[in-house]
């Protein structure tokens, strides 16, 4: 195992266990049986100690605690009865070197004890080596002398910064070890001019820098040279100094900043790339039109990567053409010649046809770059073109030219940018299709226009939740009856989307069909209820109004509400009231009863029907009761000569949009009818 003999203390073991341990460890450790109740102290030689505790020790906690306080290098192995649970009773005493063995696994005890000893010996060896190193440092043993030590002194000689002594002609006289490592100096380097170690085009500048050294140090400057085909960047500062013999020298202090500069440059590049990715993500997720968003992306590529210009084309699949939609940087006046590129033609068309990027830092001589003369004249060095592909479909092409080479990190960033732009264009296309589909489905659910009603002024407002991307569940309808009366309906079908659209279509169709037979509320509403129940459609709240514009006392109305917010009646003098008569919603309960409220509309009176989006448009956030809405209607002032219905509908609609703002989660639908003089 090792020449070091550890100490093994046995406490509370039976003869069988002790015999096993002595047979296994006697050759490598000094084994002592603990028979006295007082725990022993540390070994006089500072040897590591292994304590093996058996079941006969009734209270091992005190023994272990005492030993750990006295012996710094201590490991513990415990032999316990099969039913013993003492390990869980003293977690604070056990360390990662400690082990526990049950009596039924007694054969494992010697192996576990030996492993614990080896761990102790390894830890002891580490501590011994560490102590020796510390003693060596404290003894301050002088290093082997090297050129320049007498000139610079021990401190500068051991410095982590390179130091050179130069004569008046910038020839090397002495150096410290760090300078030797940086410049690969050997004995043959003595007397060689320092500028000779640098490229010819930098020697004159370096010579001037070295010869301007005065009593005060010259600010460091950066100088580059090539070592083994790779650039090395050195920061060099100079100062005149006097040696102990009175000779005046130039002291050149140099530091290899290649790695630090590369790290800073890489960090700057990655920061720029991260900012570019953020700019593109921000642009592509904005609410601006697609051309404006793509223009922001192209401009970000130019600004963040220093490109000469960047362009984005979008595919027109029906024409197999790439349409230029964004152009940033130089030469935008030449875009006309490349505004429409057929797939497979020119470099842009080939990238689209092959669906592979084309990347080069050697534009001059690249056969794929069409106008070599232009590239040479304008000093173009790099070209990067990426197909824009999303879900396997070609979307367009992004391309840029740069006067500086594009590092691999920039190309990786551009590949991610191209993917983000492609996904954004695809999402925009899908949203446009969804918007078109939504509008097509929503259009039949609302009347195309409000009819002209003799003696009545009518106005409506509607806004689906989701900015026209989702089909709403609110609806309204106005249509004439054969006997000269008018039917008005405003309702709210539970849910959104196609299911709600189907239920809305069912309700409107049933309403119209039923009124052609008998417009009486007690006939129409039960039919709508049964239609919803039969198709297992979502439930619906509804307010149904019959208007007789030719009644003797003025327009006569009958109002029936099925679980709908109370209609508001605003009299000509501005007073308001809620029509609270109502019955259950449609499509839910087995038995229906919907009371009918009949009243006359006098000139200037207005009936307002609305959905719960006007009272609970954002859930509990700033919700209000119908009474609050009635108070708002009462407070409205209608200018003389203006339509009351239009003014009231517009004011309530604007108020609701402002009240809910971005929190709005429900549709808005409103009808207002005013009796005219």
Could you read off the pLDDT of 476-517 as tens digits, one per residue?
999 999 999 999 999 999 887 778 788 888 899 999 999 999
Q: Tell whether 545 and 645 lie within a shared domain.
A: yes
Report the candidate in 450, 486, 456 with the shortest Cα–Cα distance to residue 676: 456
In this structure, the answer to whether residues 290 and 237 fall within a common structural domain is: no
Range of the domain at 96: 6-139
Strands (E), 89-217: 99-102, 162-166, 172-175
* Cα(162)–Cα(532) distance, integer angstroms: 90
Which of the two residues, 300 and 263, has the higher pLDDT score? Answer: 300
Task: Residue 331: count other Cβ atoms within 10 Å of its Cβ.
Answer: 14
The verdict on 131 and 153 lying in the same domain is no
DSSP code at position 642: S
Does pLDDT of 144 surpass 70? no
State the DSSP code for 398.
E
Residue 263 lies in a domain: no
Q: Nearest 10 degrees: CA dihedral of 158, 261, 164, 154?
A: -10
Please report whether residue 162 resides in a domain. yes
471 with 669: CB under 8 angstroms?
A: no
**Within-domain flag for 261:** no
Residues 572 and 666 in one domain: yes
Task: Give the domain-ending residue among 410, 437, 464.
Answer: 437
What the block records as the tokens of 677 is 């003089």
Which helix (H) or strand (E) segment is 291 a member of?
A: helix 290-305
Q: Once rounded to an integer, what is the mean pLDDT over residues 382-394?
A: 94
Residue 97's pLDDT is what?
Answer: 45
- The strand ranges marked E within 556-662 are 556-562, 568-570, 576-578, 596-600, 606-610
DSSP letter at 590 equals S
Cα 66 to Cα 493: distance, rounded to the nearest angstrom: 80
Q: Are residues 163 and 124 in the same domain?
A: no
* Of the candidate ranges 4-8, 318-322, 483-487, 624-628, the one whose mean pLDDT is the lowest: 4-8
Instruction: Evaluate whether residue 630 is within a structural domain.
Output: yes
Q: What's the mean per-residue pLDDT of the chain? A: 85
When divided into structural domains, the chain yields a total of 4
Distance, CA of 290 to CA of 280 (rounded, Å)? 12
- Percent of the chain residues topping a pLDDT of 70: 87
Query: Is residue 264 in a domain?
Result: no
Q: In terms of C-beta density within 10 A (0-12 exposed, 13-18 middle, 19 or more buried), how is residue 582 classed?
A: buried
- Angstrom CA distances, 288 to 27, 228, 470, stand at 85, 53, 19
Task: Find residue 251's DSSP bridge partners.
Answer: 165, 239
Q: Are residues 490 and 515 in the same domain?
A: yes
**Whether residues 231 and 280 fall in one domain:** no
Query: Residue 63 above 90 pLDDT?
Result: no
Q: What is the pLDDT, as a whole number, of residue 150?
A: 52
Q: Establish if 409 belongs to a structural domain.
A: yes
298 in the same domain as 192: no
Do 393 and 496 share a domain, yes or no? no
Total count of residues recorded for the chain: 677
Tens-digit pLDDT profile for residues 208-252 = 998 887 655 668 899 999 888 888 999 999 888 776 667 788 888
Q: Would you say residue 349 has pLDDT above 90? A: yes
Neighbours of 224 (CB within 10 A): 13
Q: Which candidate, 574, 510, 570, places its Cα nearest to that of 540?
A: 510
Q: What's the average model confidence in pLDDT over 380-406?
A: 93
Q: Flag whether pLDDT at 89 surpasses 50.
A: no
What pLDDT digit, counting tens, does each position of 178-206 carry? 899 999 988 778 889 999 999 999 999 99
> Could you tell me which residues are beta bridge partners of residue 122?
none
Confidence category of residue 422, pLDDT binned at 50, 70, 90: very high
Cα 405 from chain centroid (whole Å): 30
Which residues are within 8 A (CB) of 389 and not within 5 positions of it... i.e. 6 or more apart? 355, 395, 419, 422
Taking only the tens place, the pLDDT of each residue in 620-648 is: 777 889 999 999 999 998 887 788 899 99
| Beta bridge partner(s), residue 501 | none
The domain boundary, picked from 403, 437, 471, lies at 437
Question: Which residues contact residue 651 at a Cβ distance below 8 angstroms, ignoring those fewer than 6 apart?
Answer: 632, 636
Residue scoring higher pLDDT (397 or 62): 397
According to DSSP, the β-strands at 99-102 and 74-80 are parallel
Distance CA 613, CA 177 (A): 81
User: How far apart are alpha carbons 368 and 161 in whole angstroms?
Assistant: 49
Q: In the prediction, which pLDDT does 529 show?
A: 93
Which one is predicted more confidently, 469 or 598? Answer: 598
CATH number of 274's domain: 3.30.450.40
Res 457: pLDDT: 93
394: Cβ contacts below 8 Å, ≥ 6 apart: 315, 352, 355, 387, 388
CATH number, domain with residue 250: 3.30.450.20
| Domain presence at residue 1 | no
pLDDT for the residue 151: 54
pLDDT, residue 47, reads 81
Q: What is the distance between the alpha carbons of residues 677 and 670, in angstroms, rounded to a whole number?
A: 23
Local confidence band at 336 (pLDDT 50, 70, 90 cut-offs): confident
Which CATH number covers residue 512? 3.60.40.10
Report phi then psi at 86, rounded to 5. Answer: -70, -20
Q: Provide the terminal-to-terminal Cα distance of the chain, rounded to the nearest Å.
A: 115
Give the confidence band of 36 by pLDDT, cuts at 50, 70, 90: low
Residue bearing the bigger pLDDT, 445 or 193: 193
**Mean pLDDT for the stretch of residues 561-572:** 95
On whether both 132 and 190 belong to a single domain, the answer is no
Residue with tokens 């600010």: 219
3-state DSSP: the chain helix, strand, coil percent, rounded to 5? 40, 25, 35
CATH assignment at residue 16: 3.40.50.2300
Per-residue pLDDT, 141? 39
Q: How many CB atoms lie within 10 A of CB 326?
A: 24
Per-residue pLDDT, averaged over 591-597, amounts to: 92
Give the SS3 label for residue 637.
coil
Q: Residues 612, 648: one domain?
A: yes
Q: Which residue, of 256, 288, 320, is where some domain finishes?
A: 256
| Residue 525 is assigned to a structural domain of this protein | yes
Q: Within the chain, what is the greatest distance between any pair of CA atoms? A: 130
Q: Which of 136-145, 285-294, 587-596, 645-654 has the lowest mean pLDDT?
A: 136-145
Q: How many CB atoms lie within 10 A of CB 381?
A: 17
Q: How confident is the model at residue 607 (pLDDT cuts 50, 70, 90)?
A: very high
Q: Do 333 and 465 sit in the same domain of this protein?
A: no
Tell me the average pLDDT across 549-577: 92
The kind and range of the H/E element at 502 are helix 497-517
Angle subtended by helix axes 258-284 and 408-442, to nearest 10 = 10
């Amino acid at each position: 195992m090792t020449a070091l003999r550890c100490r093994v203390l046995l406490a509370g073991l039976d003869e069988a266990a002790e015999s096993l341990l002595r047979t296994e460890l006697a050759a490598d450790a000094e084994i002592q049986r603990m028979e006295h109740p007082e725990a022993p102290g540390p070994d006089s030689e500072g040897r590591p100690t292994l304590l093996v505790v058996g079941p006969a020790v009734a209270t091992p906690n005190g023994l272990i605690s005492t030993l750990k306080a006295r012996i710094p290098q201590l490991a513990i192995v415990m032999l316990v009865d099969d039913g013993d649970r003492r390990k869980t009773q003293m977690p604070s005493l056990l360390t990662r070197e400690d082990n526990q063995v049950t009596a039924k696994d007694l054969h494992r005890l010697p192996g576990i004890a030996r492993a614990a000893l080896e761990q102790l010996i390894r830890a002891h060896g580490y501590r011994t080596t560490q102590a020796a190193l510390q003693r060596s440092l404290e003894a301050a043993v002088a290093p082997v002398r090297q050129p320049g030590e007498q000139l610079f002194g021990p401190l500068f000689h051991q410095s982590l910064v390179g130091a050179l002594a130069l004569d008046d002609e910038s020839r090397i006289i002495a150096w410290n070890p760090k300078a030797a490592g940086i410049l690969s100096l050997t004995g043959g380097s003595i007397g060689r001019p320092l500028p000779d170690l640098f490229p010819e085009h930098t020697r004159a500048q370096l010579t001037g820098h070295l010869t301007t050294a005065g009593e005060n140090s010259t600010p460091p400057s950066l100088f580059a040279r090539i070592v083994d085909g790779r650039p090395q960047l050195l920061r060099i500062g100079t100062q005149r100094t006097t040696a102990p013999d009175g000779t005046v020298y130039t002291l050149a202090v140099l530091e290899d900043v290649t790695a630090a500069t590369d790290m800073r440059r890489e960090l700057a590049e990655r920061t720029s790339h991260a900012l570019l990715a953020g700019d593109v993500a921000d642009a592509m997720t904005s609410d601006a039109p697609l051309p404006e968003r793509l223009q922001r992306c192209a401009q970000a590529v130019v600004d963040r990567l220093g490109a000469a210009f960047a362009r984005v084309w979008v595919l027109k699949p029906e024409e197999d053409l790439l349409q230029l939609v964004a152009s940033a940087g130089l030469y935008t006046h030449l875009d006309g010649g490349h505004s429409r590129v057929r797939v497979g033609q020119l470099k842009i068309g080939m990238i689209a046809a092959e669906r592979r990027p084309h990347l080069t830092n050697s534009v001059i001589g690249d056969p794929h770059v069409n106008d070599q003369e232009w590239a040479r004249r304008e000093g173009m060095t790099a070209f990067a073109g990426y197909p824009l592909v999303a879900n396997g479909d070609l979307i367009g092409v992004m391309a840029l030219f740069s006067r500086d080479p594009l590092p691999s990190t920039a190309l990786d960033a551009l590949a991610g940018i191209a993917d983000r732009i492609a996904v954004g264009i695809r999402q925009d296309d899908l949203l446009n299709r969804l918007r078109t589909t939504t509008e097509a489905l929503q259009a039949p659910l609302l009347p195309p226009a409000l009819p002209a009603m003799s003696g009545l002024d009518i106005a409506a407002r509607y806004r689906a939740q989701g900015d026209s991307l989702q089909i709403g569940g609110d609806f309204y309808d106005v249509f004439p009856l054969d006997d000269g009366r008018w039917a008005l309906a405003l309702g709210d079908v539970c849910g959104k989307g196609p299911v709600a659209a189907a239920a809305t279509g069912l309700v409107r169709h049933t309403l119209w069909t039923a009124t052609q037979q008998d417009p009486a509320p007690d006939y129409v509403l039960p039919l709508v209820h049964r239609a919803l129940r039969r198709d297992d459609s979502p439930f619906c709240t509804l307010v149904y109004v019959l208007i007789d514009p030719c009644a003797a006392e003025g327009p006569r109305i009958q109002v029936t509400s099925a679980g709908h917010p109370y209609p508001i009646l605003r009299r000509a003098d501005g007073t308001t009231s809620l029509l609270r008569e109502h019955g259950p919603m449609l499509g839910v309960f087995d038995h229906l009863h919907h009371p009918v409220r009949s009243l006359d509309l006098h000139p200037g009176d207005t009936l307002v029907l609305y959905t719960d989006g006007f009272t609970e448009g954002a859930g509990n956030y700033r919700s209000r009761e119908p009474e609050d809405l009635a108070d708002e209607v009462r407070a409205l002032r209608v200018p003389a000569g203006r339509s009351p219905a239009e003014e009231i509908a517009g004011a309530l609609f604007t108020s609701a949009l402002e009240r809910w703002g971005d929190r709005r989660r429900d549709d808005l639908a409103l009808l207002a009818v005013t009796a005219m003089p």
